[in-house]
Structure 1
Amino acid sequence: MSSWSRPDPLMRDLIHLINARRHDHGDTDAAVDTLQAFLEQGREQDLLTVLAALDEDMAEWLFDLVAEAACSVVLDGDLDEKPAYAVMAALELPLQANLPPPLKLKIDPVATADLLHRHLRLPAGTVVRVEPRLLTDATLELMTLQALNEHLIALADSQRTQPITARVHPPVENTAFLIFELIGAPDPSLPEALEERHRRVLLEGLVEQCPELALAPHMLEAPVYAAYAMFDAQNAVRLHRLADETAAVWRDLDPVVRARTIVHLHTQCGNGVYMPVWTDLFDPELPEDHGPLWTSPDVWVFTADLPIEWPGEMLTNRLLAEGCTRFENHIVEAPEN
């Protein structure tokens, strides 16, 4: 007999909101409430599993809601008043290259809050709370949606909170993330764009506080939910590790075999935004039924609305630097839904 069991009430609510979206109706606020309930029950992995099974349009829609659910909560207040929100956001900032350790990445929370209030043009009455250190992709790689949500709930409940992370890890790429919270915001949405003058003055003010930043205002974009920054950072770290691991195995091959080895980069499509990436090393002189010399573990990356580069770019650049020049890209078609 099958081991399948009936979905619990919360999973049924998630199925209902997905079906409502497919039929062009549904309540966004109710959907966010459902997703927050998953996070509060420690069921983040259930959400990621569902994301992996959806088609691309549905997965991007759900991913937006998951990011909002993890990074916004309604503040308690008078029922007759308009609702106010606590929202956790992130700005992606350029770092200088070849920074010597130890990294400081310290900023003045008060001065930075003032900069953000002025140059993001936030509504009056919105309080800005800034994390005192810039975070790196390697630091955010250890974060979870639950951790973001719990941090924000503690903040909204006026509890004394610790910094979101106690330790900053060396960056994998030349990027840092400024994490901040908006307390009492009139809605959970964030500015969709930054005017050039605001972008320039904002970054100049941050570089003055933290010389490790690079003065490249053209790279500064509008803030996003911290969950987006977290997944973007995790993509960078995981793809970097995949490239390093593949390069190390290629380097250890016998020189004669190495000279003829072909690197296959596999990406899967048709399963939405939660995508596995992996590599194979093939020796073309071996029979086809031999299979690859080596296959890497799967690396799962998110692609919804994130500034992720094509996954092969980091890998090929890394291997080209090692002297490897033979590559093939393989798109693995997945059954719909």
Structure 2
Amino acid sequence: MKAAAINQYGGAEVFQLMDLPTPLIKTDEILVKVHATSVNPIDWKTRQGMLQLLTGYHFPMVLGFDISGEVVEVGTAVTRFQPGDQIYACLDNLTGGAYAEYAVLSAKAACPKPEKLCHKEAAAVPLAGLTALQALRDHGKIKQGYSVLINGASGGVGSFAVQIAKAFETQVTGVCSGKNKEFVKNLGADRVIDYTQQDFTKDTAKYDIIFDVVGNKSFWSCQNCLQPNGVYITTHPYPVNFLESFFTAFLPGKKAKVVVMKSNGLDLKSLEELIDAQKLRPVIAQTYPLSAVAQAHQESEKGHVVGKLVIMVAS
């Protein structure tokens, strides 16, 4: 099979288009012909070697976590899917494997592809959508009437978080650059703050949930913006963030949480229901062929992508 893989950690230039063996499946796994995938920051952080203590040194390494495609083989213990099914998923192994013509994952991580989305659109959803859903629902315990702030509202996770928060009938404030204010408003935000003009931590507004997707505001800097039992959630797994989460868990009042996304077919089903109800839609910034994964990574690393970058693997 064709795959965009790396033989060492480094810059985007380490990607090579290779012919690799089609992966073999275990009894509880499925093999999927990948139609499309997308780029997430964890992909290029892995490529750079920032996670090498976890990801190891087994090369060639195929990166990428999001897939939308067709099931071509199922393990003997799999009953939920059969060859020909159209699915979307976030791969549930450590390094991914989506930048290839075929990918393997556990059946429990997959979900039928939303009928309203083509493969290109569906591939933009899993990792970012699951991160936003699990942050707000599981860590933030979001409820109707809450006041929610999304820092980084125009990016991949942030654009899903704004829409999911609105689906829960909350008051949403999005933080982004001035050029993206109308985009975030169109996602459903009730209020938009231009971070180049205003620091939301100096504002008098109070929030039940602050979801810091960017990771440039600490729990301590956000404390004055939180309601007495408010929750600060970050996507960044820095040691200090886990320490804050640990200590605030045992104290009354405001909490700090770190969201570590878990691949989950049932949660993808929840996202599918929001998509079918037209309360959630993926936003695609740009599309690339598999041979241009390096360029997609370089664009993602700039940190100013509005929505998601999608890689088309099969037509």
| TM bracket (short chain) | under 0.3
**What's the TM-score once normalised by structure 2's chain length?**
0.26
Q: Which structure features the higher share of strand residues? A: 2
Select the structure of larger CA radius of gyration.
1
**What's the TM-score once normalised by structure 1's chain length?**
0.24
Q: Which structure features the higher share of helix residues? A: 1
